[in-house]
Amino acid sequence: MSDKSLEPQEMWAQMKKNSDGLVPAITQDYETGDVLMMAYMNEESFILTLETGYMHYYSRSRNSLWKKGETSGHFQKVISSFIDCDRDTLLFKIDQTGAACHTGNRTCFFTELKDLGSL
């Protein structure tokens, strides 16, 4: 194993992107292990996340970058980061300030599939 750390751009180049050039990023509470949310990253959001230590994403609906917590104050500080064995999904263990979900819930994963019919 090499002691050489890769630059963020070199890391990004080694990832498998979807057809839009994006990579899914899952965030997990570093203390509890709770899965908080999933969003997409492009190269710029990935590099900003690694450089600043705070989660940045690419909004497909707004077609723009966003820093989690910029308007809500619910920031996500990166504690550690991982890539899966296929190099097509990222996992960030984070320290979450406030709610992760835009609905105000702590996690985006609060609806059980069995409850879909009652929504």
Quick one: average pLDDT of 9-26? Answer: 97
Give the CATH number for residue 58: 3.10.20.810
117 occurs within a structural domain: no
- pLDDT at site 101: 96
Which helix H or strand E contains 91, and what residues bound it?
strand 90-96
pLDDT confidence bin for 116, thresholds 50/70/90:
confident
pLDDT > 70? residue 22: yes
Decide: helix, strand or coil at residue 107: coil
Give yes or no for residue 105 having a pLDDT over 80.
yes
Domain membership of residue 92 (yes or no) is: yes
Residue 80 in domain:
yes
CB 76 within 8 A of CB 55: yes
Number of domains the chain contains: 1
- Res. 119: pLDDT tops 80: no
Residue 7 in any domain: the answer is no
For residue 54, the enclosing domain spans: 24-111
The answer to whether residue 8 is domain-embedded is: no
pLDDT of residue 115: 87
Q: Give tens-digit pLDDT for 42-59.
A: 999 999 999 999 999 999
Asked whether the beta carbons of 35 and 26 are under 8 A apart, the reply is yes
* Span 37-96, pLDDT tens digits: 999 999 999 999 999 999 999 999 999 999 999 999 999 999 999 999 999 999 999 999
Is 1 part of any domain? Answer: no
